[in-house]
Copies of this chain bind each other. A is one copy, B any other.
Amino acid sequence: MNPMTAAQRTTPADRPQLGLRERKKIKTREAIRAATYGLIKEQGYDATTIDQIAERAEVSPSTVFRYFPTKEDIVLTDEYDALIMEELSARPADEPWPESIRYVMHRALALGAKDDIEVSRLRSRLTVEVPAVRSRMMESMSVTGRMLCQAIGERTGLDPESVEVRVYAMSLVGGLMEASLYWAERGHTDDFPELIDRTLDVLQHGLPQRNS
């Protein structure tokens, strides 16, 4: 969803070719994020104001809003969307859908594990605890759903705008989101990859035992 994600992820590689301006932008962006995470850890989400964030990041409040449209956006980055789509389009065209999804999810998990685990968990905790954050998360979910529709369209030849594809994509995304909520709710104690597997099983074959 956020275009700057790529820039962050590839920081080490292309820093030299970026102008001073671009480098500064990335820096302030990260400064704002760091300040936010720090303050939230100390005082909680609601108690943390934009002014405090601005002060700690050593920028003006105006600048904070220039970088992030809302407070929730500071904590939420879906670097995953682009990542998933990329991996997905790289799968062989004849691979069955559920297979592709399963593979890609595990792959995204593996890559995500490299990120700062502290931050990642704080983020998912906030997703559970702060309504506004969860809300925004769900918004981004529907964006992910749309992208999935495209991918599904390309692979299956079905109309990406049809109810069928859209419903399928949404139920997939919704299910996966619920799984990660479940994981966060229980304090990240479960094995997440396994959780994802069980989730995909349900989405593919319905509930276990006596039904559908």
Contacts and interface: CB of A to CB of B under 8 A. Distances in A.
Interface of A: 96-98, 131, 134-136, 138-139, 141-142, 145, 152, 156-158, 163-175, 177-179, 182, 195, 198-199, 201-204, 206-212
A169 B199 CA distance: 11
Contact of A168 (B158, B167, B170, B206): B206
A179 B178 CA distance: 19
Chain multiplicity (copies): 2
A189 to B, nearest CB: 13
Contacts of A206: 168, 204
Contact of A135 (B136, B199, B202): B136
A211 B169 CA distance: 14
B131 A207 contact: no
B182 A166 contact: yes
Nearest to A165: B207
A75 B168 CA distance: 28
27 contacts: A97-B207, A97-B211, A97-B212, A98-B211, A135-B138, A138-B141, A152-B207, A156-B207, A156-B210, A157-B209, A158-B207, A163-B179, A163-B195, A163-B199, A163-B202, A164-B198, A164-B202, A164-B208, A166-B178, A166-B182, A167-B182, A168-B175, A168-B202, A168-B206, A168-B207, A171-B172, A174-B174
A157 to B, nearest CB: 8
A165 to B, nearest CB: 7
A207 B164 contact: yes
Given A139-B138, A175-B170, A158 B203 contact: no
A212 B198 CA distance: 16
A96 B212 contact: yes
